[in-house]
Structure 1
Amino acid sequence: MRHLKMFALGLFALFAAPLALTPLAQGPHIAPAPVRMKAPDRGGRDLAAASPESVGISSERLRRLDGAMKKLVDDKQVAGLVTLLERHGKIVDFNAVGQRDVKSGEALLKDSIFRIYSMSKPITGVAMMMLYEEGKWRLDDPVARYIPEFAKLKVYTGKNEDGSPKLEDARRSMTMRELMTHTGGLGYVLNANNPVDKMIIDGNVLNARAPLQNMIEGLSKIPLLAQPGTRWSYSIAVDVQGYLIEKFSGQTFADFARTRIFEPLGMKDTAFYVPKDKLARFSEVHTGAGATLAVDANRPDPAFVPLGPSGGGGLYSTASDYARFCEMLLEGGQLNGVRLLAPRTVEMMRTNHVNPDPLKTMAPGTGWGLDFQVVMDAAAAGDSVPNGTFTWFGIAGTWFWIDPVGDLAFVGMVGHQSLQTTRAIHGLSRSLVYQAVMD
């Protein structure tokens, strides 16, 4: 519980603006915005190491990226970083610098294992879309069709004079599309000052020691933040998706992810826990900077095997594993002849599905696909990535982006609890990657 509240405070620093819940377009439904680019089906590529010049990147300029990451470690802004850049199916830059644990002083390695937190969400989204392709559900189906407990949800509208919550009936069920775009009205663990989020936190709804059915039962008793389809708010929706994956597939969520995604893609170090024989490679989360840089002792045991794995934030992974996931999406749903999704399905995931107005404060120029953030206007975003890039990050600093225009993907791994620091690193990495691209 202490960890959950700390997680909430950290995320609140980033998402305070969206929690104002700016209304979306008029009416209960959200029309998809017309940002769409054909997902490539490039054929199997091996992710072998290659020279930067062989894929149109200047090795001399790329050294600026490696130098900047090293300086962050030398200045004790973070304990260590692993970065991986791939283009045209080749890995052209892969470096580890710093320590996995400043207490022990052990070196960070390229295969170090990190808590990736919300970088779990795109993986959960891919699992959902695999089941979508099997005909298990449709985008505009009501969620209550599959989760009857959500059939009669209430919506929080304020407080009564006695301080009790003022509620109204939900006018309709949230749809599956809304569940995958954070527009269903669900709360999260972002803001303990928000009455709905506080109910989720105090109710220990995200409890890894209980099955996912318990989460559903808990959420069924907690009101929505808003009427479905009227507002965008980062939410517990992806954890709900984990429950639906179990219901649709007949497998546990962890088993589905392992047998249908991780093993086929060769993601050998990705799981909802770190096996004991791999703990020597586990990279701790740190806090502070300079003389105060230290291991954060308030994190869950990485070796704990969850009964209710979190689709929104429960995975551990490595840079090379996550790069394989990114390459699968970059190739239109396949990797080395193993196909998880059709190209059109990947295109649908990375197409904006919401009115982007509420995102302007948090991230100008972006929208939201199916469990991804999508860059719609690179100039407004003030970033080097082109339109059509899809991306996200984890609360402890891990980050990635996939650029289908430049046929490029980047994965960064770090364990540091300071959004101010890590978000600055994310922007720096994007600038330093694209200044090295020569075509």
Structure 2
Amino acid sequence: MKSPNFLIFLLSACVLACSAPVKQETGIVTDAAKSRLDSALTDMVESGMVAGVSALIYEKGEEVYFKAEGFADREAQNPMDRNTIAIIYSMTKPVTGVALMTLYEKGAFQLDDPLEKYAPEFADMQVFAGVDSITGEIKLEPLARPITIRDITRHTAGFAIDPNQPGLGELVKAADAGNRNNTLVQMAEKMGKVPLMFQPGTQWAYGPSVDVQAFLVERISGKPYGEYVRENVLDPLGMKESRYFVPEGDRDRISAVYRKEQDGSLSQVPDSLAHSFNTQEWPLTPGGFGLTSTVDDYMKFAQMLVNGGTYKGTTILKPETVKLMATSQLDENITERMWLPSKGQVGFGIDFAVRLREPASPEENMGVVGEFFWDGAASTLFWVDPENELTAVLFVQVMPFAGQVHKRFRDAVYGSYRED
């Protein structure tokens, strides 16, 4: 028979155990979020939204989620995995912005300096003002003010982009500034001869501004852009897999690119076309597109940003510079913003969209005020959430741009929209 003192001890222990507070999950990526993420990624593949998907999330400096689902190459039955190389298209832009801002920190330029101060290729530009209805001649007007460096970091420079625009489009096609056989200098020379499509600073229009940033880095630093970004951003961060040219030994890891057809099916874009930029070394090293990467490689870049410019003891930028980049540079009076409003309640900083307000409806992407992010033409995505010290990288390879993929992923991370 147990002694009375022992029975009292057992009873006390039971009372203490039953009254102990239940440990609450903290952070954003809880078990519930992981379950939502697993379901969302699996459904993306099973529903035929994408052929394959990989997602990596860090919170407070630690990996909290990774999953790869489906195929990098469905036809060859190559699974999507951690080492899959994706073509990141416009997710190249923030990398270029960081490279440019390393020169800003050295005092090499100011954001409101005229671009022509460093690049006379853009001096004496004019603005397209329509086509004369009688003569058919293009009408031009002088600049109200020069293009500034701030303009090329926030897409307000006015560079012409539409080859189908009456009058101006023919000049865009004839210049062929973005031809991959051009050097950055040749690109700039050709762009400088095409009239702007609007006065600088009056509209937001996505275009080749970040390619001009790469040219400016090359001009100011005196080094080829590809060398400068490698030496000052990619190599210091250990981003060995982030590159324009993928050597032959690594090409079996490049994901196929898929096109969503009108009937909802996915068809593979021939590798000879989809991978052509990255399997040959071209004269053009664009700032706005062209890099490939893996989820882990790009996460190093995102972690550098969430840590205020430093990653594992290596400082790329000062915290105040990262904050400047992540602060909207768009005046409220710039109301013509192309498709930027489709990104939600955002402004635009230096090569990032910046969330200004909470989502206003269930249709908008979930996110946190103060986050900054960008994406790529094949529907890749990354964001930096400073409030929660969270960074996310999502790789798929499907065109045209699949915004619903991003919504599903963001809703899984943060939970669905809730009415107040």
TM-score range, shorter chain: 0.7 to 0.9
Q: Per-residue deviation at 1:185?
A: 1.3
In structure 1, the residue matched to 2:326 is: 350
Q: Please give the alpha-carbon distance, in whole angstroms, between the structure 2 residues aligned to 1:330 and 1:427.
A: 22
In structure 2, the residue matched to 1:293 is: 266
In structure 2, the residue matched to 1:150 is: 122
Partners of 1:239 and 1:310 within 8 A in 2: yes
**Residue 159 of structure 2 is aligned to residue 182 of structure 1:** no
Partners of 2:348 and 2:354 within 8 A in 1: yes
Change (3 A) 1:317 1:223: same
Q: Per-residue deviation at 1:411?
A: 0.6
Change (3 A) 1:361 1:126: closer
**Residue 238 of structure 2 is aligned to residue 259 of structure 1:** no
Secondary structure in 2 matching 1:344: helix
In structure 2, the residue matched to 1:371 is: 351
Q: Please give the alpha-carbon distance, in whole angstroms, between the structure 1 residues aligned to 2:398 and 2:292.
A: 15
Report the TM-score, using the length of structure 1 for normalisation: 0.83
Q: Please give the alpha-carbon distance, in whole angstroms, between the structure 2 residues aligned to 1:56 and 1:362.
A: 25
Q: Per-residue deviation at 1:300?
A: 4.5
Q: Which runs of 5+ in 2 are unaligned?
A: 1-23
The structure whose RCO (Cα within 8 Å, separation 6+) is larger is 1
In structure 2, the residue matched to 1:40 is: none
Secondary structure in 1 matching 2:113: coil
Specify which of 240, 254, 263 is matched with residue 268 of structure 1: 240
Partners of 1:272 and 1:306 within 8 A in 2: no
Partners of 1:89 and 1:327 within 8 A in 2: yes
Specify which of 124, 132, 139 is matched with residue 166 of structure 1: 139
Q: Please give the alpha-carbon distance, in whole angstroms, between the structure 2 residues aligned to 1:384 and 1:320.
A: 23
- Could you tell which deviates more after superposition, 248-257 or 292-301? 292-301
- Could you tell which deviates more after superposition, 219-228 or 280-289? 280-289
Change (3 A) 1:321 1:54: farther
Post-superposition Cα deviations, 1:40-83, rounded to whole Å, max 9, x if no partner, equal xxxxxxxxxxxx96756322431221221111112222110111
Partners of 2:55 and 2:68 within 8 A in 1: yes
1:1-400 map, 5 Å: 55=27, 57-161=29-133, 162-188=135-161, 192-193=164-165, 195-196=167-168, 199-288=171-260, 292-297=265-270, 298-301=273-276, 302-356=278-332, 357-359=335-337, 361-380=341-360, 382-400=364-382
- Could you tell which deviates more after superposition, 171-180 or 137-146? 171-180
- Could you tell which deviates more after superposition, 391-400 or 71-80? 71-80
Change (3 A) 1:366 1:195: farther
Post-superposition Cα deviations, 1:347-389, rounded to whole Å, max 9, x if no partner, equal 0000011124334743442101011111101234744211111
Matching residue's letter, 1:312: G
Post-superposition Cα deviations, 1:383-435, rounded to whole Å, max 9, x if no partner, equal 4211111011101110111111111111100110122xx21110111111013
Q: Per-residue deviation at 1:197?
A: 5.2
Matching residue's letter, 2:297: D
Q: Per-residue deviation at 1:283?
A: 0.4
Q: Which runs of 5+ in 1 are unaligned?
A: 1-51
Q: Please give the alpha-carbon distance, in whole angstroms, between the structure 2 residues aligned to 1:388 and 1:66.
A: 26
**Residue 397 of structure 2 is aligned to residue 415 of structure 1:** yes
Partners of 2:33 and 2:414 within 8 A in 1: no
Q: Please give the alpha-carbon distance, in whole angstroms, between the structure 1 residues aligned to 2:379 and 2:174.
A: 26
Q: Please give the alpha-carbon distance, in whole angstroms, between the structure 1 residues aligned to 2:32 and 2:407.
A: 20
Matching residue's letter, 1:376: L
Secondary structure in 1 matching 2:58: strand
Q: Please give the alpha-carbon distance, in whole angstroms, between the structure 2 residues aligned to 1:387 and 1:378.
A: 6
Change (3 A) 1:354 1:194: farther
Matching residue's letter, 1:388: G
- Could you tell which deviates more after superposition, 165-174 or 145-154? 165-174
Secondary structure in 2 matching 1:378: coil
Q: Per-residue deviation at 1:124?
A: 0.4
Secondary structure in 2 matching 1:155: strand
Q: Give the RMSD, CA atoms, in angstroms.
A: 2.0
Report the TM-score, using the length of structure 2 for normalisation: 0.86
Post-superposition Cα deviations, 1:158-190, rounded to whole Å, max 9, x if no partner, equal 1113333211121321111111111111123x5
Aligned-residue sequence identity (percent) comes to: 34
Partners of 1:122 and 1:371 within 8 A in 2: yes
Change (3 A) 1:120 1:197: farther
Alignment length (residue pairs): 382
Post-superposition Cα deviations, 1:95-147, rounded to whole Å, max 9, x if no partner, equal 11111112212111111111111111111000010010011110110001011
